[in-house]
Structure 1
Amino acid sequence: MDSYPLIKVSAHAGFIRDYHLEDLDSNYDWFRIPGFNPTLNQRLFEVEGNSMAPTILDGDLVICQTQKKIENVLDGTVVLVVTKEAILIKRFRAGHDPGYLLLENDNEKEQSQLKISRKDVLEIMSVRGKVTGVLVPHHEIASKGKISALEEALELLKKEVFKLNKKIASMSS
């Protein structure tokens, strides 16, 4: 079991400012995560804000692994992007413009897409896991199951309506 440096929200600005320093991680507290199989170039970051809710919540700790090549990041991956001005946690979207990264929120209330120049990116990390102190209320879990069942039933209904429309069209001809 290895240790990881924890970059708290209060240390984000210092992390960006001192990013070029080789012993940067020595400035932070180190933690062990039981049950996680670590590889090199990983850090813990404390999350601020709810732009990625319900996937990641304010105060969660995300376990991030450095990605050497942006091209290796899969569409839909949750990433932590370190720019010259901010640390962002967003969902990566494969774009058509190779000079930019497309990032978006998971939070329905904060739906937006952010376009960042690759020149402004100091580092991109994939989020490999999270540590949270939030318990999801039972009624929310049950509601999600019901919504999924309704979505499946609606999809089946759409297919049946399509078949009926096809039969009616063939009978009318």
Structure 2
Amino acid sequence: MDKISTIKENILQFIENKGIAKAEFYRKTEIADSNFKGRNLKSEIGGNHIVKILATYPEINSEWLLTGRGPMMKEIIEENSLLKEARPVYKVKPIPLVSVTAIGGFGNNSFSISERDVKDYYVIPKFRHKKVDFMLEVEGSSMYPKYSSGDVVACTVINENSFLQWNKTHVVATRGQGIIIKRIKKGSSDATLCMVSDNKDYDPFEVPKEEITGIALVVGVIRLE
């Protein structure tokens, strides 16, 4: 089996191939040169750095950067393609897959995901026309059959409650109950929201708005059979 090169090894190969000065690369990508020295050379590079590299050097083939497979440059992909007709080239932003404990503070204008809470980054071409801020793995069966345990849902952060889409599935971060994936309906008062499961074995319940620290709309799903 061929040895799979590390991302840092691929970065150094790209720099050498393009004749880019290391100092220039570190400055443009805002990556400290210490990441490529001593023991740090064997450590993983953060997903935020990968996003910065792909944004700074869009000619890099992201699959090659992450796995070492395929051609280094996107242009080579097009030249070697059997499809000679012109076709659009889409830039797809890697999406963070976060743990269920990572989202306690989302839903505000300063929303950010800590790097330590990101399990991995994925490029999903199907989501290129949607604004996807993060992905989250579904746990439990309360939203079955719409969503099963193990499904990965793609989510768009909602910054204002006025943009809630009633009866749509949302990811809700709460202080007392953690992360909830439910359909949202109007509560019995202006101070609450009603959480509804698709699985009829689970009764609806209300959550006070003051207990909610953030909300995101589910806009897509990835499912393995």
Which interval holds the TM-score relative to the shorter structure? 0.5 to 0.7
- Structure 1 vs Structure 2 CA RMSD: 2.2
* 8 A contact 1:16–1:84 mirrored in 2: no
1:26 aligns with 2:134: no
Q: 2:150 aligns with which of 35, 59, 84?
A: 59
| Structure 1 residue 72, shift from structure 2 partner | 1.7
Q: Is the 8 A contact 2:191 2:208 kept in 1?
A: yes
Residue pair 1:74, 1:94 contacting (<8 A) in 2 also:
no
Alignment partner of 1:87 is 2:179: yes
2:160 aligns to what? Answer: 69
Seq. identity, %: 24
Give 2:5's aligned residue.
none
Give the number of the structure with larger relative contact order, counting CA–CA contacts within 8 Å between residues 6 or more apart.
Answer: 1
Poorly superposed stretches of 4+, deviation over 4 Å:
16-23
In the alignment, the residues of structure 1 paired with residue 105 and residue 187 of structure 2 have an alpha-carbon distance, to the nearest angstrom, of: 30
Residue in 1 that maps onto 2:75: none
Structure 1 segments unaligned to the other structure (5+ residues) = 135-173
| TM score, norm. by length of structure 1 | 0.66
Q: Which amino acid aligns with 1:24?
A: I
The answer as to whether partners of 1:75 and 1:92 remain within 8 angstroms in 2 is yes
Match of 2:199 in 1: 107
Partner of 1:142 in structure 2? Answer: none
Cα distance change, pair 32–55 in 1 and its aligned pair in 2 (3 A): same
Out of 104, 113, 127, the position equivalent to 2:218 is: 127
Against the structure 1 CA distance between its residues 24 and 54, is the aligned structure 2 distance closer, same or farther, given a 3 Å change threshold? same
Q: Name the structure 1 match of 2:140.
A: 49
Q: Are residues 17 and 33 of structure 1, via their aligned partners in 2, closer, same or farther at CA, if it must alter by over 3 Å?
A: same
Letter of the structure 1 residue corresponding to residue 115 of structure 2? S
Distance 1:55 1:22, change over 3 A: closer
Per the normalisation by structure 2, the TM-score is 0.52
CA distance in 2, matches of 1:38, 1:25: 22
CA 38–26 in structure 1, closer or farther in 2 if over 3 Å, else same: farther
Q: Which has the higher helix share?
A: 1
Name the CA shift for 1:55/1:98 in 2 (closer, same or farther; >3 Å): same
Query: Of the candidates 78, 96, 100, which is equivalent to residue 12 of structure 1?
Result: 100
Question: Equivalent residue of 1:128, what SS?
Answer: strand
